[in-house]
Structure 1
Amino acid sequence: MSASGGPPSSASLRRDLEILDVLASDECRRRGGLGVVRIAERLGRENSQVSRALRALAEAGMVERDPHTLDYRLGWRLYSYAARTFEARLVHVAAPFVRRLVAAVQETAHLCVYRGNQVLTLWSEPAPHAYRASSVWDGLSVPLLSAVAGRVLLSDWEPAVLRKWFGDGAVLSSVERPRVRTVDELVTELAVIKQRGYALAREEFEIGVVSCSAPVKDSRGRVLAALTISAPSPRLGDRLDQAGRLTARCAGDIARALLRDGATPR
């Protein structure tokens, strides 16, 4: 990318990256953005040159400008790239742990994340006798409250936030046999999940299918992903609690591996 809109040269790319570095600085985060003059001061460049580059970066979604203060900060496209980079790293780090879990439980496992009020399955590891091909799930998004993983992904939300997000009088589920219908019931269910360390669903979202799910957390306790096991009820129903405990242990192992890998902040 270049300020002129033509193909980027190595020099113009380097100048654009320098601007992005400034907008990623502690000063910019503290102030909520930086103006053209301050960015130019930090870089030792002309205001007009920095202004042109910022306009080009804004058009590409790399930076955004506050309409009130006119200050610039990092844009949505960079955060989108960062999210997808983390998700790829998450799958890479989690893979050996998930495969050991599948070997222990002998059922298919899914690694899911929150994306736009949906549960997105990043990756599935099938059991040898998988009742569905793993490719059916990879990349699939379902509504947040129509899967046990959705509750896990919400389990670190404060009750006040949940009430504001969903609305106190909202009907939360359209599935045939919902156990959680209201925000009050959701708050109670999430408290149970948080205390127990994993969620259970017995034929709630799909007749004949049971599932368990546990959170993968960062060092601050924020939920990064949900690790889920699902299988036909006759095969897993009697040992669903045991599978939940194993899934929670595996999710904890993944969280510690991400921390060692540097993929999550300490």
Structure 2
Amino acid sequence: MTDAPRNTRGLRRDLDLLEALASEEARHTGGLGVAQVSRLTGREKSQVSRSLRALDEAGLVERDADSLLYRLGWRLFSLAARATEGRMVTAAEPVLARLAVRTEETVHLCVLRDDAVLTVRSVSGHSFRTTGWEGLRAPLACTSAGRVLLVDATPDELHVRFGTPADLAPDHPRCRTRTVPQLWQELREVADRGWAEVRDEFEPGVSGVSAPVRDFRGRVLAAINVAGPTTRIGEALGAHGRAVAAAAATVSAELGWAEPNRA
């Protein structure tokens, strides 16, 4: 019976070390040395050094070979990412349902999978039953969800992802973004607006809007999308875009993302 409290104390001490390595000071300096962690946690340097070495061996922290500073490790981020994706779907469910009621349209939760958009959840504003979109893939360049999922990509990353094709959307003649430079310009507009709008580009007669869901690091994890017939929602894309952006911000906050103030 005496081992449990001791093990609990050890776990709490390790969590204190991880909290120190996640602090503002650690982020600004790219890591912390043993003395800095000792100061932040109030523990002896020898204890901190032993604990950090054990966490390093487990992959929860890593030590830079040149600076000798410790930072959070790949395994911790991997575990957090897997937990975040599951939590995202759970957190998104009621938000999707409310958005479907508000817009009276079909709402999708989409993620990036390889070179396509994958719909992982759909809710109908009319019946609240999932639609046939779940599990289906769609191209990135000519869908609002695809543009949102790529919104933080740099030009170099876009060139690596797409290469140098003559046409990004050969099967979609109405797509506005046919080259990587055109896509990059469209992504800048999406970033400024806060959501992406597509009118008849992916499928004639269908329009949609999407906004990004971000994880605790600010990385785009998913897109919330509202789509419907252009004849019904074409004149309301701006209003739907604001509603989708608010819904995505709600899910992002549940995942630990704090939206920075925009001037």
Decide: shared fold, TM above 0.5.
yes
CA distance in 1, matches of 2:54, 2:73: 12
CA distance in 2, matches of 1:46, 1:101: 52
Correspondences of 1:122-201 after superposition (within 5 Å): 123-126=121-124, 128=127, 132-133=131-132, 136-137=134-135, 144-145=140-141, 147-155=143-151, 157=152, 162-167=154-159, 170-171=164-165, 173=168, 176-177=171-172, 179=175, 180-193=177-190, 194-195=192-193, 197-200=195-198
How many angstroms does 1:240 deviate by? 4.0
CA distance in 1, matches of 2:93, 2:130: 20
Correspondences of 1:46-195 after superposition (within 5 Å): 46-47=45-46, 49-84=47-82, 86-87=84-85, 90-92=88-90, 94-103=92-101, 105-113=103-111, 119=117, 121=119, 123-126=121-124, 128=127, 132-133=131-132, 136-137=134-135, 144-145=140-141, 147-155=143-151, 157=152, 162-167=154-159, 170-171=164-165, 173=168, 176-177=171-172, 179=175, 180-193=177-190, 194-195=192-193
CA deviations 1:35-55 (Å, max 9, x no partner) are 2344345443252x4333223
How many angstroms does 1:15 deviate by? 2.3
CA deviations 1:88-121 (Å, max 9, x no partner) are 5554554444224324555431123557876564
CA distance in 2, matches of 1:262, 1:166: 27
SS of 1:16's partner is: helix
* 8 A contact 1:107–1:130 mirrored in 2: no
Distance of aligned partners of 1:145 and 1:37 in 2 relative to their CA distance in 1, 3 Å threshold: same
CA deviations 1:181-233 (Å, max 9, x no partner) are 312211333345445943215363xx668341222478xx98664221345xx
Check if 1:237 corresponds to 2:230.
Answer: yes
5+ residue gaps in structure 2?
Answer: 1-5
Check if 1:227 corresponds to 2:219.
Answer: no
Check if 1:251 corresponds to 2:248.
Answer: no
1:39 corresponding residue in structure 2 = 37
How many angstroms does 1:151 deviate by? 0.4
CA distance in 1, matches of 2:108, 2:52: 41
* 8 A contact 2:107–2:123 mirrored in 1: yes
Which stretch shifts more, 26-35 or 143-152? 143-152
Which stretch shifts more, 241-250 or 141-150? 141-150
Distance of aligned partners of 1:72 and 1:177 in 2 relative to their CA distance in 1, 3 Å threshold: same
TM-score (norm 2): 0.69
Alpha-carbon RMSD: 4.0
Distance of aligned partners of 1:63 and 1:122 in 2 relative to their CA distance in 1, 3 Å threshold: farther
Q: Share of identical aligned residues, percent?
A: 37
* 8 A contact 1:66–1:72 mirrored in 2: yes
2:209 corresponding residue in structure 1 = 213
SS of 2:242's partner is: helix
How many angstroms does 1:258 deviate by? 5.5
Distance of aligned partners of 1:38 and 1:102 in 2 relative to their CA distance in 1, 3 Å threshold: closer
CA distance in 1, matches of 2:119, 2:200: 20
SS of 1:167's partner is: helix
CA deviations 1:106-155 (Å, max 9, x no partner) are 54311235578765645332453868446x33xx7777547431202334
TM-score (norm 1): 0.68
1:3 corresponding residue in structure 2 = none
